[in-house]
């Protein structure tokens, strides 16, 4: 398979347009009802490392489907234009690409966590365990 563009180029394009929030800035917004924090990591990562307190989970592989109102997989909680959605992954790579994709779809109320969950933990920010799925 011959690729025309590598992951570094994709990340550079995403970083050029995707708004970011520093860990301290996001921490200050955790109790803000107009901010929805969304963890896009795999559930095994959440179980192993925990997550940002109060964060919702949307698997990266389903994000565009969950966000699109015309998708059979659409989730209403990802559709409030009055809220700001802040996405994060482990190192801010997947979240940068995700935010760029959502912006390409027309979203204007999205951002991602600079330095990802690793940066969050390195900054000494709080970590919670994932809530078990309700039956």
What is the span of the domain harbouring residue 108? 12-122
Q: How far is CA 78 from the centre of its chain?
A: 11
Q: Does the residue 87 lie in any domain?
A: yes
What's the confidence (pLDDT) of residue 134? 66
What's the confidence (pLDDT) of residue 33? 96
**What distances in angstroms separate CA 37 from CA 7, 30, 85, 120, one per listed residue?**
25, 8, 6, 13
CATH no. for residue 43? Answer: 3.40.250.10
Q: Does the residue 70 lie in any domain?
A: yes
Report how far residue 109's alpha carbon sits from residue 111's, in angstroms, rounded to the nearest whole number.
Answer: 7
The ranges of the chain with pLDDT < 70 are 134-135
Q: Which of these, 54, 56, 26, 28, lies nearest to 40 by C-alpha position?
A: 56
In 3-state terms, what secondary structure has residue 45? helix
Q: Does the residue 132 lie in any domain?
A: no
Q: Give the number of domains in the chain.
A: 1
Report how far residue 112's alpha carbon sits from residue 11's, in angstroms, rounded to the nearest whole number.
Answer: 13
Q: Does the residue 7 lie in any domain?
A: no
Q: Does the residue 131 lie in any domain?
A: no
Q: Does the residue 130 lie in any domain?
A: no
Q: Does the residue 4 lie in any domain?
A: no
The pTM score is 0.94
Q: Does the residue 2 lie in any domain?
A: no
Report how far residue 20's alpha carbon sits from residue 61's, in angstroms, rounded to the nearest whole number.
Answer: 21
What's the confidence (pLDDT) of residue 7? 95
């Amino acid at each position: 398979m011959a690729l025309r563009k590598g992951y570094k180029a994709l990340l550079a394009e995403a970083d050029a347009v995707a708004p970011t929030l520093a860990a301290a800035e996001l921490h200050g917004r955790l109790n803000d009802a107009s901010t929805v924090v969304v963890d896009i990591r795999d559930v095994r990562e959440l179980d192993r490392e925990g997550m940002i307190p109060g964060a919702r989970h949307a698997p990266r592989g389903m994000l565009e489907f969950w966000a699109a109102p015309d998708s059979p997989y659409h989730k209403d909680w990802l559709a409030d234009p009055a809220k700001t959605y802040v996405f994060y992954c482990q190192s801010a790579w997947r979240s940068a690409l995700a935010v760029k994709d959502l912006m390409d779809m027309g979203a204007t109320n999205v951002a991602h966590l600079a330095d990802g969950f690793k940066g969050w933990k390195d900054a000494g920010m709080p970590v919670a365990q994932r809530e078990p799925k309700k039956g």
